[in-house]
Structure 1
Amino acid sequence: MENKLDTKYTYTEKKDTRSGFGDGLLEAGRRNENVVALCADLIGSLKMGAFQKEFPERFFQMGISEANMIGAAAGLTIGGKIPFTGTFANFSTGRVYDQIRQSVAYSEKNVKICASHAGLTLGEDGATHQILEDIGMMKMLPNMTVINPCDYNQTKAATIAIAEHEGPVYLRFGRPKWPIFTPENQEFEIGKAWKMIEGTDVTIFATGHLVWEAVEAEAILRAEGISVELINIHTIKPLDTEAILKSVAKTGCAVSAEEHQFNGGLNDSIAQTLIRNQPAPLEFIGVDDSFGESGKPEELLEKYGLNAKNIVEAAKRAISRK
């Protein structure tokens, strides 16, 4: 399906970001024999089957015992292994926060916590399986790197990159099929924002699935004569503050967009960066102190104000406040 908007980024295929993780994990395993994988009874949902098939002796089915999985992963690092844990984002964080804090972050263990079905776009499974607080929870932990890629290609590249990164990582991705619009075989640099489109009137910072919504918003705004600088913040911690400040110094205002609560996530990080360095008008796109619900991904983005239309409106509000 060809994108109908006149965007600078188009797509011909949709694929889930969790498949990017699965394919990236397999490639990381082929490159480094120390890469191992642990799964909490969700091999199919996490797309870990190919790794299990090719490296059965390096795959551990832990069952529905997420806390034990994190503890075992931390132990495996002592022997030089690079463990990737896999379950839903809700169960990767809230259910096991104590184990992550004590056994991984505090202990600085080289564990890669890989979290699928994040945000609202999990869809029909509803609020008990969706999570909108995970970025904040993980970002607050010292020593933890937090990454939220935007499409299949970027998720695959991020998965390969974190295998080479020493230290705890939280990698967040999703369930729905989403446009593939970033380059294949791209280089993924942890902590480095990607300026996708250069502009002068307003900066849009976006992460995860909302990067595509921001791409569509840029096309709408450009058609109205508004010049947007679009920056993909795939790494939320460490944050590329230099790129943020440089862009806002040029445009004078910004929008921050994420599939997460206002509090604790990218919005919070952008706001703190601007307040501490160069205050400027900033509008948030996110969920305002609410749980999710069941529904199709597109319907939920519409209801909770996370789609391209909402980003367009936020950009205009930010510009009006300059």
Structure 2
Amino acid sequence: MNAVTNPAKLHDCRDAFVATLERLGAENPRIVAVCNDSVGSSKLGGFKAKFPERLVNVGIAEQNMVGVGAGLANGGLLPFVCGASCFLTGRSLEQIKADIAYSNANVKLVGISAGMAYGELGPTHHSTEDFAWTRVIPNLAVIAPCDSVETAAAVEWAAAHEGPVFLRLSRVGVPDLLPAGHRFELGRANVLRDGDAVTLIANGTLTHRMLKAADLLAAEGIEARVLNMATVRPLDVAAIVAAAEETGAILTAEEHSVYGGLGSAIAEVVVDRAPVPMKILGVPGIFVPTGSAEFLLDEFGMSPAGVAEAAKALIARKRRG
């Protein structure tokens, strides 16, 4: 599969989320939205205008918000529980574990402005631990779409899926990479570019940077495979093993700590099923300082040029090994 890119046009994935939610809401009266004083940042204004009795704003009370979502699901409704990912996951992790996942409640958690999207608001608002917190919880699907097309497809899938979902969305603009009409499949990675020298794996805001890095590598005669790994739980184990066996090296990048996130999840598969040289790019286990998401990603070595250099170092390791 070749990526479809128009790098000049960037999309806020929240727009695709709310457009899909409003359309589904018109078709299904069971769909409700729950938020934590975040109608604006979750872009739920249109949903509220169309379905005023189907939006519950609990105020700044994330634990209550998740509990309300569980109660609504138990009453037969289909709640999308929306809030800043740093607060949705950090403040209400126990409720996510016990009320949602343990109870297998049909609740869709939507972490808005994930990663470093709140850049200028600093360490309290960065959400660089949410993969680590959520991916270890049984029953909970964890998804980070790479563009607006995949966001819309993932929302449709989540609404049809019976069970808990955590959907991780950024507010940072990204180009569309997947073709119109793309169908989301849980646990299925997308090969956006094929190659045999190294595999680059990412999701969310990092996927398009991996494609740009692959272009830089191709200019030097190095063909890199690029995988969009939108599902963090469950992982596409077959795609990871194939990448390890066919390219001999794996480089991951994520808008998250290098501990416990996408790279760690992939490393668990690699070490058990197909050991090869591997490198994880991300936040190096620190509290992320203030700065725009784009600036911070570059500072942490995840510019396209930085990814390309890391890939070349990894290929050198592979050759020495």
TM-score with structure 2 setting the length: 0.95
**8 Å contact from structure 1 (residues 27, 160) kept in 2:** no
Distance 1:160 1:214 in 2: 26
Provide, for residues 293-321 of structure 1, a one-character-per-residue CA deviation record: whole Å limited to 9, x for no partner.
22122211111222212211121122111
Matched, 1:254 2:250: yes
- Equivalent AA in structure 1 for residue 107 of structure 2: V
Provide, for residues 237-286 of structure 1, a one-character-per-residue CA deviation record: whole Å limited to 9, x for no partner.
01000011112211111101111111111100110101111100101111
Distance 2:143 2:23 in 1: 19
Match of 2:139 among 137, 140, 143: 143
**8 Å contact from structure 2 (residues 128, 255) kept in 1:** yes
- SS of residue in 1 equivalent to 2:16: helix
Aligned to 1:233: 229
- SS of residue in 1 equivalent to 2:162: coil
Match of 2:153 among 152, 157, 168: 157
Matched, 1:242 2:242: no
Match of 1:269 among 245, 265, 270: 265
Aligned to 1:31: 27
Match of 1:79 among 75, 81, 97: 75
Calculate percent identity across the aligned residue pairs: 40
Distance 1:121 1:40 in 2: 18
Shift of 1:121: 3.1
Match of 2:13 among 6, 10, 17: 17
Matched, 1:117 2:113: yes
Distance 1:292 1:180 in 2: 27
Shift of 1:176: 1.9
**8 Å contact from structure 1 (residues 121, 301) kept in 2:** no
- SS of residue in 1 equivalent to 2:296: helix
- Equivalent AA in structure 2 for residue 164 of structure 1: A
- SS of residue in 2 equivalent to 1:236: strand
CA distance 1:31–1:244, shift in 2 (3 Å) = farther
- Equivalent AA in structure 1 for residue 171 of structure 2: R
Moved over 6 A (4+): none
Matched, 1:190 2:186: yes
Distance 1:123 1:318 in 2: 30
**8 Å contact from structure 2 (residues 195, 223) kept in 1:** yes
Could you list the runs of 5+ residues in structure 2 that have no partner in the other structure? none
Distance 1:24 1:191 in 2: 21
TM-score with structure 1 setting the length: 0.95
RMSD: 1.3
Distance 1:25 1:224 in 2: 44
Distance 1:246 1:30 in 2: 42
Provide, for residues 132-157 of structure 1, a one-character-per-residue CA deviation record: whole Å limited to 9, x for no partner.
00001000111110001112221122
Alignment of 1:91-106 (within 5 A): 91-106=87-102
- Point out the more displaced range, 220-229 or 43-52: 43-52
Matched, 1:278 2:278: no
Match of 2:37 among 38, 41, 58: 41
Match of 1:64 among 60, 63, 71: 60
Distance 2:64 2:88 in 1: 12
- Equivalent AA in structure 1 for residue 58 of structure 2: M
Matched, 1:217 2:213: yes
Distance 2:292 2:95 in 1: 33
Distance 2:280 2:29 in 1: 43
Shift of 1:8: 6.6
Aligned to 1:3: none
Distance 1:98 1:8 in 2: 40
Distance 1:39 1:25 in 2: 14
Could you list the runs of 5+ residues in structure 1 that have no partner in the other structure? 1-6
